[in-house]
Structure 1
Amino acid sequence: MSTELPDATVSPPTEPPLTPSRRTFIATTTVAGGAVVAGSLFMAPDALGDEPANTAEAPSGRVSLTVNGERHTVTVDNRTSLLDLLREHLKLTGSKKGCNAGACGACTVLVDGRRVNSCLTLAVRLEGAEVTTIEGLADGDDLHKLQQAFIDEDAFQCGFCTPGQIMSGVGCIKEGHTGSVEEIREWMSGNICRCGCYVKIVRAVGHAAHGK
């Protein structure tokens, strides 16, 4: 009689579940995320909560004014500045857009004989006004005395600020603020020259005012 015991039936060890690799995880989440984004891109605007764009036109107004002796009647957006009216509508580009905030004086023109920063002046408020720009100073081929003084004194370099400097200088002379170099400097201080020609500019204004 055999005394050997039968072999025990042993179940094979159970393998732990496979853990997804980092690469598999990233690939899976990227695909899923892309599907979500793609789906949102093709959703109807109403589903995204978008409102239709406002297509209403900005209010406009009509203004009649005289520029350099010529009468103009134009219809413009109520927010249009005198500077943009001159440059964009009347093609008078002598007045320069420097800071567009009233700080540099490059856009200076005369309105009813008084100097103003045209970038800060609304065009629709100038009904019936008389506007003079740098283009309107000369009499044909005869330059205004201040234009000639700027040439004689070499009072410019790049020339960008020159139209505003001259228009401000004309206003300064009309206002009678040319009693001294210090007074001219004070009343011309709203006009910036980045080239630094202030000494010659002041000299030119004084020359035009007093003929010396």
Structure 2
Amino acid sequence: MTRVLVVDDDALVRAGLTMMLDGSAGITVVAEAADGGEAVSAADAHRPDVVLMDLRMPRVDGITATRRLVGRPGPPKVVVLTTFDTDENIVGALRAGASGFLLKDTPPAAIADAVTRAAAGEPILSPAVLRTLMDRTLRQTDTWATARASLAALTPREHDVTLAVASGRSNADIAADLTMSVTTVKSHVSNILAKLGLENRTQLAILAHDAGLV
């Protein structure tokens, strides 16, 4: 079972998400929290696999909470679920270490699927968020140059894997596309993250988008 912590300052939203997720196969909600501070405490107490995180909350916001959670040993995956899709929110959350970013108009089944995929280590970006990241890349030439310089350190094979990760491909899909085993794909991803000093696949996808490769 994928253990989930639901974080939102709206009690009705929390209740709705909890009911929906608990009714999904392979998922159980182990705790709820009303702000980022409670989220960190609840994560310590219940050890969830995935934290479904709101952004705009009193006291401790979602980005700060995400940074605190992923900065610890054995952190949960954080998937942001919010109504705010500005560049600042999206990039801030992902750079803080979130494994994905969804909008609250995402269908319930897609949210449940995102939780399962996040627990498996897959990056989660809704189409609207992906478009925003692409638009941002086109606007930021300085970021483009820096990202290109970073990716220049990769081998050709690592470059292929990076492109596939940035396109949202699963490990199985990448393995099939590049004719390698899933274990080899995972090894390449780990090596790429270590080489570039990144925390997760989502940050790698951001870097690829910043470089204008996707």
TM-score interval, smaller chain: under 0.3
Which structure is larger by alpha-carbon Rg, 1 or 2? 1
Q: Normalization by structure 1: what TM-score?
A: 0.26
Q: Normalization by structure 2: what TM-score?
A: 0.26
